[in-house]
Amino acid sequence: MTALSSRIAAFADRWPKFLALLLGAVSATGFAPLDLWPLTLLALAAWMALVARAPRGWRAAGVGWAFGVGHFAIGLNWIATAFTYQAAMPAWLGWIAVVLLALYLAVYPALAAWGAWLVKPRGDTHFAAPSYLLAFGGLWILTEWLRSWIFTGFAWNPLGVIAVPHAAVPARWIGTYGMSGIVFLLAGVLILAWFRRRVAAAALFGSVLLFWGAAFVSQMGSNADAAVHTKGADRIPVTVVQPNVGQQDKWEGSKADANFAKLARLTTPKDDIPRLILWPEAAVPDYLERGYPSVYYDRSPAEARARIVRLMNPDDVMLLGALKLELDKTGEVVGARNAVMTVHADGTLGPRYDKAHLVPYGEYLPMRPILSALGLSRLAPGDIDFWPGPGPRTLDLGAFGRAGLQICYEIIFSGQVVDRDHRPDFIFNPSNDAWFGSWGPPQHLAQARLRAIEEGLPVIRATPTGISAVIDADGRIVESLPMHAAGRIDTVVPPARAPTLFARFGNSLPVGFALLLLALAIAFRRSGR
């Protein structure tokens, strides 16, 4: 074992960034669809030991940056598939986009590595110093939280998602980013065990286990209270429709009627019980609102709504993804909204939700005047940008309760998915994952499950090609439809839990947890322990 350790150390000293790049790639295998989370823990432990060996702070940052490049390039490989659906750009550009995005996102692991190295006691004998391990966990939390909002944020694949669902129970208290810190502490246990710091390893693992147990007991108590509260209460019947319309067919004008026929066939009622019907994001290409110049309509709003109403029972309500246009005073289109509209069985429209957290280069072109002047307008599809809505909103659906809305990508932003002043009964997440390849949809689903755990609310997803699912307030999948299959789910909305600690205080809790870890790290360093 000593000879093997010496060889590994020699290789690490000679090729630290290359080894970090490989470890970053391995760490990404813990995400869906592979779910090889033990490899993630081992890769994190090896990376932290590698950072600790760096002779200078800037070299520690370089090792952190190389790790991040491998981590994000593998975890976000589905973005390359998304580019194959943009006819204006060559498919190979997708892989360039993945690498460029990884090069940027790697800055955050680099910052965490640099900060942890600064806290580490000097000397090779302190690789397993508690101060270093605690600081690494706290700094990863902070940098992951920063990643969620700097430059509008890109919070995809936080480390805590590998714990979904059962091991992610502490997310009720410390949120997703706090769970990522827990993942780092578990990797720290491996380092302590490797360096035979048995007492420290047992203490750290015992602390994590105790914290998890307390959160689990709290969840069980919440479940019992919810069961008493909801006993005899009306349950909301829902029909979730997944038409299996591929991205290559979605906006093909000649296939519009065939696409609608798929939705219609799966929506037709089986009995006369009132239902809440849930269709995916941008389910129909028709404009359902009046007031646009006639040139923009393929069919009138009345006709577009009428063919939807024919699929509904007299007391049904439908939530569906549709587009809304924004016109200037001359009647010219100047923007659009990615919206969810409420359609009643009498053909009237109810409250509408406009997507607030838009996808850069997917739904709008940042700095459009400058990039267009440089000939880069093709980086985003279309000639106009989507406009953002005001943020999380709860729609009152009468007998069908209160629905919180998050369209597609919005569901990945921890602490930003619910109007806390008007808490909903459930979250509806219509999405279009058809262009996310084979890795994107299961990763998207896993992050939606984290939102359910954090907020104590069921989440219902409707997508064109999967994975559509009904998720209970503990993050468990009650029913789902597989990828690339047409189908429908007829069920009832799972009960909501009492507001969790995270639902009350949001991301102030993981940030506070990170600061606590950093304070403990500094205390350990000063005590020389």
Q: Looking at the structure, tell me whether residues 11 and 27 fall in a common domain.
A: yes
In a domain, 369, yes or no: no
In a domain, 375, yes or no: no
Q: Looking at the structure, tell me whether residues 114 and 99 fall in a common domain.
A: yes
Task: Report the domain count for the chain.
Answer: 3
Catalytic residue flag (residue 231): no
How far is the C-alpha of 249 from the C-alpha of 491, rounded, in Å? 29
In a domain, 374, yes or no: no
Whether the pLDDT of residue 123 is over 80: the answer is no
Q: Looking at the structure, tell me whether residues 1 and 11 fall in a common domain.
A: yes
Q: Looking at the structure, tell me whether residues 251 and 192 fall in a common domain.
A: no
Q: Find the catalytic residue in 144, 262, 355, 410.
A: 355
CA distances from 273 to 118, 164, 237, 443 (A): 64, 34, 8, 34
In a domain, 19, yes or no: yes
The pLDDT tens digits of the residues spanning 275-315 come to 999 999 988 888 999 888 888 888 889 999 999 999 999 99
CB distance 45 to 194 below 8 Å: yes
Q: Looking at the structure, tell me whether residues 101 and 141 fall in a common domain.
A: no
Q: Looking at the structure, tell me whether residues 243 and 278 fall in a common domain.
A: yes
Instruction: Average the pLDDT over each of 283-297, 386-400, 420-434, 447-461 and give the range with the smallest value.
Output: 283-297
Q: Which domain holds residue 417?
A: 235-356+391-494
Length reported for the chain: 529
Q: What is the pLDDT of residue 200?
A: 85
Q: What is the pLDDT of residue 228?
A: 45
In a domain, 367, yes or no: no
Q: Looking at the structure, tell me whether residues 279 and 206 fall in a common domain.
A: no
DSSP secondary structure string, 249-302?
HHT-GGGHHHHHHHHHHHHS-SSS---EEE--TT---S--SS-S-GGG-SS-HH
Q: What is the CATH number of the domain that holds 451?
A: 3.60.110.10
Q: Looking at the structure, tell me whether residues 257 and 222 fall in a common domain.
A: no
Q: Looking at the structure, tell me whether residues 308 and 438 fall in a common domain.
A: yes
Q: What is the pLDDT of residue 437?
A: 83
What is the percentage of the chain residues whose pLDDT exceeds 90? 61
Q: Find the catalytic residue in 408, 410, 454, 455.
A: 408
The pLDDT tens digits of the residues spanning 163-198 come to 988 789 999 999 999 999 999 999 999 999 888 888
Q: Find the catalytic residue in 120, 250, 281, 324.
A: 281
67 confidence band (pLDDT: 50, 70, 90)? very high
Q: Looking at the structure, tell me whether residues 313 and 449 fall in a common domain.
A: yes
How far is the C-alpha of 496 from the C-alpha of 472, rounded, in Å? 8
Catalytic residue flag (residue 324): no
232 confidence band (pLDDT: 50, 70, 90)? very low
The enclosing H or E element of 320 equals strand 317-327
How far is the C-alpha of 241 from the C-alpha of 461, rounded, in Å? 10
Residue where a domain stops, chosen among 94, 119, 144: 119
Q: What is the pLDDT of residue 125?
A: 46
Q: Looking at the structure, tell me whether residues 27 and 162 fall in a common domain.
A: no
How far is the C-alpha of 9 from the C-alpha of 42, rounded, in Å? 16
Q: What is the pLDDT of residue 3?
A: 63
How far is the C-alpha of 32 from the C-alpha of 158, rounded, in Å? 12
The pLDDT tens digits of the residues spanning 77-114 come to 998 887 776 655 666 777 888 999 999 999 999 999 99
Catalytic residue flag (residue 408): yes
How far is the C-alpha of 412 from the C-alpha of 522, rounded, in Å? 32
Q: Looking at the structure, tell me whether residues 107 and 1 fall in a common domain.
A: yes
Q: Which residues 6+ apart lie within 8 Å of 308 measured at CB?
A: 284, 318, 320, 343
The enclosing H or E element of 305 equals helix 301-309
